[in-house]
Chain A
Amino acid sequence: MKTFCSVWLLLSLVELSPAPPASQEPPLACTGAPDPAPPQPETAEDMASTGDLEPTHYPARRAAQVALHYLNTHHGSPFRVFGLQQVHKASAEDVAAGGRKYKLDFSVTDWGSGSAGPALRCSADVLFPRTERHSAPKVELHCEALQQINSTAQEDDAFYQKYISPDSTVSARDIPDSFGNMSEEMQPFWRLARVAASFIMLRESSENTEFNMAKVASITQQESSEEQLMLEFVVLLHDFPSQEIVQWKLLASWSPDRGVRVLQTEWQPRCPHATKPPN
């Protein structure tokens, strides 16, 4: 109960920066041309079917990705990140107060173990609220045999001991590089960034988005606090429907006991397409 309260308290400390538009349009400051409200991509999402969903189609996939982000926020670590393997069954229904709830049956794998690893069966309810301003989806998740997958406690502890020392000042850019290369030393940091990014991807998700982390732009270790590794990440997220790359700076903590917590997030609007910075 105590853990629950402190977790809840910590989560409530997560600063909500001005959220980017749910449509993931580039910031208005970058727009050269005078543009009325950027048109939402007209898709069939608003008329998406209720009832049984085709598991290979995007509505079920997007909802499953949201469940994955949730799973990773709770069980991700420097040595564990889960990926979606397959959606087996899915259905959706409109709920009171104008949201849509998805019921999902799907399998996940640990990216660390590759295709050799076992698949975990999960079920989830994902509720996308319909509010005027975007609000985070709500997830209820259950995965079987979560405790039975090989524990990474040994690697977690070794990693923790190595970097919790006051002298440690890890700092890196472009993980991975343009060719997909990443040193072995950087892999746990990439995974931590990916888990931390999951908090943001979860929060920013809607039925009209589908996020992945494209790359880590930078990692800067901060002074440890309360026996937590403190890491500042700049991550680049990719959203499928808009094809936009969205940049977020975030401050995360991690320890083997407490897992990943995200303390601060800041959306960093970029105008990568601009020839000159906006006025």
Chain B
Amino acid sequence: TMKGSIMGVLLVLALVVQDRLAGGLELKSYDYTKYHTMDEISAWMNQMEMENPDVVSSMIYGQTYEKRNIALLKIGLNSTTPKKAIWMDCGIHAREWIAPAFCQYFVKEILGSYKTDSEVNTLLKNLDFYITPVLNMDGYNYSWIDSTTRLWRKSRTPGTGNCTCVGTDLNRNFYANWGMVGISRNCCSEIYNGPSALSEPEAKAVTDFLGMHQNQLLCYLTIHSYGQLILVPYGHPNISAPNYDELMEVGLAAAKAIKAVHGKSYRVGSSPDVLYANSGSSRDFARLIGIPYSFTFELRDEGQHGFILPEDQIQPTCEEAYKGAMSIINYVHDKNFKSAAITVTATLWTTLTALWISSTNVI
């Protein structure tokens, strides 16, 4: 009947509206204390961009093997002059779920505080943040399929030649002493470094982006788990970065900031010292092309839960890691901008003094 179909249409409309509302509400109260699927994270990125158009834009800078768009959020206040930048990536290794959780938390924190917190405001004024919440999207997605895939690490590229195994360790695939140490040529190995350097589109995408923005980038942070470590370049035991001492100082300060939050100890050192030797890492590549401050964060815990960190630890882990990252970022910022401020002030005073002298006809 006519009445029946009108009721039917109204019912459908009501359900659609309710669904829209629920969906909107769901997105509005995004839960940063839970792990999220790749689709949820992508939707969240769109939402961050939509809700903060003045400071957030997204950039697609590559494609994964399974043809997903690799995207980052560029966060910063608009400027008429070119800006320096900080890079952060999470989720190079699929099973390290706490890392993408941290990238999302970090974005939430700076977006939620830059209007009221002058320190964060200054950072966003002087710097752009390029943040990739999940780099290894294929692997991350795979690790969500079921409990048997949870501990996947590598990319999802099929093996080449006679290899029946899948995946390359993205963090051994970069063009940084590729293949020299801490890798395996067995393609089934978790540390298989790929048929060749940059064989993986994900590693190529980061390499291209860093290369293009090399003069802008002051700091490269890559987030992993587990181990509670802050690693400085290089992964090769016989090679030291020229600013090793400074990197150690900055790293130790970050560890101190982390400890102040919840008492967790993070060890600081080069990978061959505190963890194991390795090559082809993104951190090493960043340092090699001249990004001066390059660090790997290995978040909680130290082995009790390992990769499968319970969700009730997401919040405290993110809180401490945020302080650690900010410690480094503030150092890098102050090194590049405080002195500029001093120069401006000095110039101003010199000019005023000169004007005063000339106006009083002292000379």
Contacts and interface: CB of A to CB of B under 8 A. Distances in A.
A83 B303 contact: yes
B129 to A, nearest CB: 28
Contacts, number: 158
Nearest to A244: B190
Contacts of B146: 178
A32 B188 contact: yes
Interface residues of B, number: 57
A54 interface: yes
A59 to B, nearest CB: 10
Where chain A touches its partner, the secondary structure class is: loop
Contacts of B189: 25-26, 38, 242, 244
A86 B274 CA distance: 13
B71 to A, nearest CB: 24
A186 interface: no
B308 A58 contact: no
Contact of A180 (B153, B191, B274, B305): B305
Interface size class of A (residues with CB under 8 A): 35 or more
Given A86-B265, A179-B35, A274 B188 contact: yes
A177 interface: yes
Given A180-B308, A214-B307, A244-B190, A41 B184 contact: yes
B310 interface: yes
Where chain B touches its partner, the secondary structure class is: loop
Given A83-B302, A238-B306, A31 B187 contact: yes
A263 interface: no
Interface of B: 35, 144, 146-148, 150-154, 158-159, 161-167, 169, 180-191, 227, 237, 263, 265, 267-269, 272-277, 302-313
Given A57-B273, A84-B302, A274-B165, 10 more contacts: A26-B188, A33-B163, A35-B186, A43-B277, A57-B274, A177-B147, A212-B306, A215-B306, A236-B151, A243-B191
21 contacts: A26-B189, A31-B188, A32-B159, A32-B163, A33-B159, A38-B184, A38-B185, A41-B183, A41-B191, A41-B277, A42-B181, A176-B305, A178-B144, A181-B310, A181-B311, A212-B304, A238-B307, A242-B191, A244-B189, A273-B165, A274-B164
